[in-house]
Amino acid sequence: MSDNGHQQNGHENVPSRQRRRFEGISSRTYEHPADRSALVALRKLSGFDTVFKALSGLLPERSLRLLFLSDSVRVSDAQFAHLNTMLLDACHILDLEKVPPMYVAQDPQPNAMCIGLDEPIIVVTTGLVELLDEEEMRAVVGHEVGHALSGHAVYRTILLFLTNLALRVAWIPLGNIAIMAIVTALREWFRKSELSADRAGLLVGQDLKASMRGLMKLAGGNHLHEMNVDAFLEQAEEYEAGGDLRDSVLKILNTLPRTHPFTTVRAAELKKWAESRDYQRIMDGHYPRRTEDKETSVSDSFRQSAASYATDVKNSKDPLMKLVSDIAGGAGDLGGRVRRGFGGFAGGTPKDQSAPNDQTTPEDRTSPKDQPPRDSTPEDDD
């Protein structure tokens, strides 16, 4: 199954080094379980089907294509030939028969996207092209081809449209609330879909170090001599485990308006998957085929997603997730732990000195030391 080159549209693509090809690969192979469950939840959201059907016929996809055709550079043998080679290579490795058009758009902000309803379009900015080296860029192109293979472009396009629409109807009573509910759900799904596409990028590039470098550059710019992968991943560890319950809430609030997960989190998730048995089995040629997709049970996929979430919660070092895990496990003194989490208590809960025949609950026996000052609030602490 090694890749020795192939023909596509009359162009022979010979990769700079041999890479494994995944013939007939199903997108289920690399899709993050949270991606699938978030999409299931999105489709069950009240009003989503109505909005989706309406927008599918209204979105100006032809106008979108004409816009990029007229004001961007289309990648081909004659223009950005090295990107064209990467695109053909990525489609060959993931066995995507129809190669999506790719454009380079003038924008100093490093970015890439896969959009479109009937047929996906890949767009990369000049800022991204100038920032990344060949192997890093190969992972990004594979990332976007993964979006195309998974059918993510449709929902991404609707998200972009609804985000703009929400700004226009903000003055309409309740109108903005209804749209933002769907936008919020779309953003939650899209953040998870980015983890899936990162995996697809690794399957295409087959170079974990290059994927890590690319993510570091997105966070800190073209200063690799000043950065270190291990230290970068330590940031993800500190981000997840640090702080108290207030920090956990702030993390949620900081994440809600974003379409992408935080870069350190993406790097940590990708490294964990690359070191897993699942990834090794894929590289050994054992993966789901598209011919088996029709036989896949939706309920089985949802159960896998639920199991993945449960494992993540159980293993998470985040204070809020640890609290949720303890609640599920029936841990005692949860009330005290919540108070300490939000109040920033330095010490542990005083040992109960009550007599053995005292029938009051731990909450009823809370000492004055366990209570926050009457004139102090979280806002005062800031």
The pLDDT confidence band at residue 4, using thresholds 50, 70 and 90, is very low
- The model's pTM: 0.69
**Model pLDDT, residue 43:** 60
Residue 300 confidence (pLDDT) above 70: no
What was the pLDDT predicted at 47?
60
- pLDDT score, position 158: 76
Q: Is the pLDDT of residue 328 over 50?
A: no
> Whose structure tokens read 């998870």?
192
User: Catalytic residues, which ones?
Assistant: 144
Candidate from 80-94, 97-111, 219-233, 338-352 with smallest mean pLDDT:
338-352
193 vs 344, which has greater pLDDT?
Answer: 193
Token digits for 76?
């081909």
Model pLDDT, residue 128: 97
pLDDT at 32 exceeding the cut of 60: yes
pLDDT digit string, tens, across residues 193-211: 899 999 999 999 999 999 9
Q: Which of 104-118, 137-151, 241-255 has the lowest mean pLDDT?
A: 241-255
Per-residue model confidence (pLDDT) at position 93: 97
- Choice among 38-47, 56-65, 189-198, 199-208 with the minimum mean pLDDT: 38-47
Tell me what the mean pLDDT of segment 285-300 comes to: 77
